[in-house]
Chains A and B, each alone.
Chain A
Amino acid sequence: MSEQKKKELHVAALENGTAIDHIPPAQLFKVAHLLELDRMNNTITIGNNFYSKKMGRKGMIKIADKFFEEDEINRIALIAPNVILNEIRDYEVISKYTVALPGELVGIVKCNNPKCITNNEPMPTRFDVIDKEKGAIKCRYCERKINKEDIIIK
C-alpha cells in the first residue's frame, strides 16, 4: 500500500464525523479528556504514535457523527496548538482547519492563584486570552496573568 493510500485511510475511514489529526502523542489523552470523550456515546477511534512526516509521531482521534462547535474544539489549542481538524461527510473531508485559542476560556483552566475566589467557591473559572500567539491568559476574577507553560487544565 502506498504512503498516500495509507494516509487517506487514516482519515477517510469515517463516514461522517470529525477526525482530529496531528496531536502530539504526549497530549493525546489530555485532548480526549478536554473534549469529554468519556461522556460520549459516539463511536470513537483513538490512535497514537502514527508516523508523521511533520512531527515524527502523532496521535489521532476520530469521532463518528460528531461535529464540534468552534469554542468547544478550540479549547484543545491550550495544550496542542497545531492540531488539525477534519470534518468529514460522506467519506469526504469537507473542511480542514488548525485549531486556535478562543477569546475566552470558561471552566477549563484552573487559576494558579490559591487566593483567587475561583479556587474557594463552587464556580466556573473565566479566563481572557490576552495573547493568542504566546498563549497567555488572564483570570477575569483575580486578574492574575498566566503564561502558557504555567497553565493548569482542570
Chain B
Amino acid sequence: MNGKSLVSIDQCSREDILRILENAARFEANPNRALLDGKVAATLFFEPSTRTRLSFETAVNRLGGRVVGFQDASTTSSSKGETLKDTILMVSNYVDLIIMRHHLEGAARYASEVTGIPVINAGDGANQHPSQTLLDLYSIQKTQGKLTDLAITIVGDLKYGRTVHSLIVGMSHFSPTFHFVAPEELRMPEEQKNICDQLNIPYTERTDFTEDIINQSDILYMTRVQRERFTDLEEYERVKNIYILKNGMLKNSKDNLRILHPLPRVNEIAYDVDDNPKAYFIQQARNGLFTREAIICDALGINHLI
C-alpha cells in the first residue's frame, strides 16, 4: 500500500489535516502554480459525478498538470468484465496519480493496495469521500479563524449521511461540541456516538430543529432528508418540513455562525437564506478547489509551498 494515498479521513492525523489546510490557504492566495509540470493525473470516474470531477480536474490544471481519464464506466473495459485491479494496473503504467470514484465501497482502498502510485478517493459508494471532509474543515477554519472548541450543529439525515460521519471523525481532533438534530428514523448511529464517547466529545441529540439550538451554534451543517430513506412514509410526511432552515430562524444567531451544506441541496435551505451573509455553502464548494490542490500535492509528496 502506498503511504501517500488518501483513502479515508480516518487515516489523517491532526497534523495531516492542519498541513493540508495550511497549504489550501496558500492555494487560495494563489491558485495557479506550476507544481505538477510534466505530471499526468488520471481521473477514473467509474461512477459519474460532474461536480467532484470538475473540481479535481480544475485543481490539476491550475497546478500545471495534465489530466486523462473517463467519467462513464460503460465505455471502458470494466464494462467488458475487466477487474478493477487490471484497470488500475493498466492506468498505473501511464500516470503519476489516480483520482477515482467508484460505486463499490472499498474500491479506492483496494486500488491503493494493488498499485504503487498514489490514489485519491473521490468517493466510494456510501463509504468515504475524504476531500469533501477536508474542504468542510477548511471552510470551518476559514470562517471561524480556528478549528478548536466550536459548537457544531448537524441537521437532517444523520444515519446515512457519510459526509456527516466523516465530519465527526475529522473534527474529533479539535475538541468540538456536537448537536445532532434528526428525525427518529435517521438518528446518529451508535458507532459515531461511540467515537464521541471514547474521545470525551460532548454531544446532544434532539428531533426538533429550533432557534434555540441554532443560537448556540458556531457552525450549522445542513444535510438533505431524502424520502427514500424512510421505511415509514407517514413519518417522512410528518418531518419533511421540520428540517428546513428559513432566514427568520437566524435572527438571534451568533455573529460568527456560518451555514454549511455539502450540496446539492433540494429544499432543506429556503432560498431566502441565500442572501444572509451567514450562508456559506456556495463559497464552501469553491473552497473544494483549493483543498483539492493541497490534497493532490500532499499525495505526490510536494510539501514545500511558499
A contact set with B: CB distance below 8 Å: 113, 115-118, 120-123, 139-145
Contacts and interface: CB of A to CB of B under 8 A. Distances in A.
B125 A142 contact: yes
B19 interface: no
Given A142-B125, A142-B127, A121 B105 contact: no
Contact of A122 (B83, B106, B109, B125): B83
A85 B127 CA distance: 39
Nearest to B109: A141
Given A120-B104, A121-B84, A145-B191, A115 B126 contact: yes
B187 interface: no
Contacts of A113: 105
Contacts of B83: 121-122
Interface in B66-125: 83-85, 102-107, 109-110, 124-125
Nearest to A125: B106
A142 B191 contact: no
B105 A143 contact: yes
7 contacts: A113-B105, A115-B104, A121-B84, A121-B104, A141-B106, A141-B110, A142-B105
A117 B103 contact: no
Contact of B109 (A115, A120, A140, A145): A140
B8 interface: yes
B85 A141 contact: no
Chain A, interface SS category: loop
B128 interface: yes
B104 A117 contact: yes
A122 B114 CA distance: 13
Given A115-B125, A115-B126, A122-B83, A143 B8 contact: yes
Contact of B105 (A122, A123, A141, A145): A141
A64 B125 CA distance: 48
B8 A115 contact: no
B232 to A, nearest CB: 24
A48 B106 CA distance: 41
Nearest to B114: A123
Contacts of A142: 105-106, 124-125, 127
A113 B109 CA distance: 16
B106 A118 contact: yes
A140 B84 CA distance: 17
Nearest to B111: A117
Contacts of B107: 117, 141
Contacts of A120: 104
Contacts of B84: 117, 121
A17 to B, nearest CB: 37
A144 B106 CA distance: 10
Contacts of A140: 106, 109
B191 A116 contact: no
Nearest to B103: A115
A145 B191 CA distance: 9
Contacts of B191: 145
A123 B8 CA distance: 20
Nearest to B8: A143
A116 B107 CA distance: 8
Contacts of B125: 115, 142
Nearest to A139: B106
A115 B96 CA distance: 28
Interface in B33-70: none
